Structure 1
């Protein structure tokens, strides 16, 4: 029997001082904590700045001989892996949908979010490691990214199910910040479709703590966040699955990486999740406590949600069409006006602004809306095919 210790942590490494507090101090502290070597495999999210990755690498390279950063998008995926065991292969799958480019302050689009995959040689076993950071929610009352996040969860579940077979790996570990709570459709869909087990739930009830984000004891949790969810949220997970011939048992799972020793603040605005897994050979089949009838209603619900998302894109596209027409009319009217010379500069600025607005509307209508529609249609059709196979 072999023992594998896994850690996942969202490092909160947004590279802007206003949006992210004490980043350099916290990254240094995270590196110093990891170099103690308490874990065999570490999956980190929100390591956006390559200088932060270097800070971590400089501190942990003596313990974690192998590492991989998943580059994607304009600023990188923010997801990286540190391992004591050889990383044999790696690949990054970018999600079809990633939010909106014009939502600059949300930033998910610029990270090109997706799933990082690694095959790790863990002693006599081959581990299929899947690392991710799904799109953030931002507003629980008006979640404009819900269809995107459900699409991402479904894509990831299909990817794991169709690639992580016994011919590729002996067992599977999926870790990261899912931005999904256990009651959310995306979480249920991911677990049921990919037949994954939740390391936390192997030893704890859902009513137990296990919260990793916006918790009252975290230095960075704001009163506004506590007002929305007084006890915090469970968003960070270590999920796993054994393939035929391998047994995986959770012997420990805990929320960790809280306060930095000697400081009043935490390592991150998220807590980490650490799990210890016992891995052994055997003739057993993949462990599956799931009820096959549970998947079908989840797929039906996801399909309906995606269809509503497609309808929303259509409405947004009509809005951009109307706005483009209005901007053209205003451009014509403004350029035709006979105004005093001293207002020439002001009119020039308005003409530039209206021209940019027109270009923005056309770009959204002709390009971005189509990309979003096609992404949602692809997910809808994939869900439909799976639904049909479940019914046959």
Structure 2
């Protein structure tokens, strides 16, 4: 075992590696692997999403084998979940947890059901003591195809997926392990899905630790518009808001005519930092716990966080993915001298090494600023200088607003927060009862929809079966010499039987399975609410419902 680390460098990146769909996939994946291998500081743990093929995974592994010698590619469903975890230290164990609710097979053009989305889990040991373990949970949740509108049929899926993630995170933290949730969560900050994770599990969004005033979505989102803030610039959205998706710096969000300016031998096209960014948003996250404070003699706190992997492909000129990465450094902050650590850590060597972590205030990594000329989208930014001066757009200040000695950003303040809220205890804050009622209403609405779908598909099955038999019987009554009519009846019977069989299997297998998953989810939420009202603030368990209440 190598010396115990003072810092942990983390990276999460959606690689956009859909086979046959993602453009320039092999070239981009190769460059992603190369950039990870030369990254400074070197990463300790990397979580990848949309890495769907073994070819791409092995490509990245070959290039990062000296920096990240351990890795795990996770298999799932028909096409795989696209999840992989790379590590500096050995992976002692791993599990692939499939989400009980994850899309529908009828929406084959969306593909979420076919890739079997879930949570990839890896148990990584970085030291010899019992609690010197990192549990990493990597995920790519269901995409918000319908924009999170009140009638969004996938809202229940994303809510259930956040609930599942919170359960796993809570279990890992109760084991006393440093717990990380990384990935593309397809949610905006402080959304209901975001609050489920941070309220039901003792983890914090590392970006909001360092940037508590960062945006709540793109500029046009109601939650962000309600704050009355000007439209941010591209640079502000990167440095302050952590907008890892849909911003003007990413070439895959450019128009086709703009993308034609890229390619081998063409002059580099850059984006002005002052370009207004109305669409950029944060979808990628790193959530982190503190570890067992008493056993470790201190806590893992956030040192810095930044948006990364913004460089272009050196030959093609395109962005390496349609997402940028979120990168964070956790640092170990020891307990004050008057709070002696538990003897649980004295079971192996290097004990003193852990108790001498750095105590420097948090800082942010410096990102390379794009060259201001030539600029892209000059028509949109014409006259922007005057509007910038008038405060129509949020510009990047120096230092950024959230780093002006916010009380929660320093290592000492974070340690005090963990101790004050007993982050390792079973008494972590829960959701208010009204939130549970909202989740139950979402479940009921979606369950009614699926029950209706099951009923109609079952009826179509029986209708198709009756029509198929009727066509076959009709063949007997076709006049001689009219063989073409017999052929048509047999063809209709066969096609109808095939269609009916598909409808029957969907009703019997998929919709019944989903309704059973909804019943389980409904029971868990009701049980959590009952436990909360009964005085158990755990929020995910406690005094259970009776069998009568569970019906």
TM-score (norm 2): 0.65
Q: Name the structure 2 match of 1:251.
A: 303
Q: Is the 8 A contact 1:89 1:120 kept in 2?
A: yes
Structure 1 unpaired stretches of 5+:
none
Q: Which moved more, 1:152-161 or 1:315-324?
A: 315-324
SS of equivalent residue, structure 1 residue 220: helix
1:327 and 2:464 are equivalent in the alignment? yes
Residues 161-176 of structure 1: pairs in structure 2 closer than 5 A: 161-167=170-176, 169=177, 171-176=178-183
**CA offset at residue 44 of structure 1?**
0.2
Q: Is the 8 A contact 1:166 1:243 kept in 2?
A: no
**CA offset at residue 135 of structure 1?**
1.4
Q: Distance in 2 between matches of 1:212 and 1:377?
A: 35
Q: Distance in 2 between matches of 1:144 and 1:74?
A: 23
Q: Distance in 2 between matches of 1:261 and 1:21?
A: 13
Q: Distance in 2 between matches of 1:6 and 1:74?
A: 29
Of Structure 1 and Structure 2, the greater strand share is in: 1
Q: Name the structure 1 match of 2:442.
A: 305
Q: Distance in 2 between matches of 1:166 and 1:333?
A: 63
Q: Is the 8 A contact 1:243 1:286 kept in 2?
A: no
Q: Is the 8 A contact 1:241 1:286 kept in 2?
A: no
TM-align CA RMSD: 2.5
1:13 and 2:17 are equivalent in the alignment? yes
Q: Is the 8 A contact 1:165 1:243 kept in 2?
A: no
Q: Distance in 1 between matches of 2:329 and 2:420?
A: 18
**Pairing partner for 2:28 from 26, 32, 39:** 26
Q: Name the structure 2 match of 1:185.
A: 192
**CA offset at residue 355 of structure 1?**
1.2
SS of equivalent residue, structure 2 residue 139: strand
Q: Name the structure 1 match of 2:243.
A: 211
Q: Is the 8 A contact 1:218 1:259 kept in 2?
A: no
1:45 and 2:49 are equivalent in the alignment? yes
**CA offset at residue 346 of structure 1?**
4.7
1:277 and 2:330 are equivalent in the alignment? yes
Structure 2 unpaired stretches of 5+:
216-239, 257-276, 340-414, 535-551
**Pairing partner for 2:7 from 3, 6, 25:** 3
Q: Which moved more, 1:286-295 or 1:84-93?
A: 286-295
Is the alpha carbon distance of 1:357 and 1:55 closer, same or farther for their aligned partners in structure 2, counting shifts above 3 Å? same
Deviations 1:176-226 (A, max 9, x none): 0111122432111111101221111111122243122222332222669xx
Residues 1-392 of structure 1: pairs in structure 2 closer than 5 A: 2-16=6-20, 19-37=21-39, 38-123=42-127, 125-140=132-147, 141=149, 143-167=152-176, 169=177, 171-204=178-211, 205-207=213-215, 208-221=240-253, 230-245=278-293, 246-262=298-314, 263-282=316-335, 288=421, 292=429, 294-335=431-472, 336=474, 338=478, 340-342=482-484, 345-392=487-534
Q: Is the 8 A contact 2:246 2:281 kept in 1?
A: yes
SS of equivalent residue, structure 2 residue 34: helix
TM-score (norm 1): 0.90
Is the alpha carbon distance of 1:356 and 1:214 closer, same or farther for their aligned partners in structure 2, counting shifts above 3 Å? farther
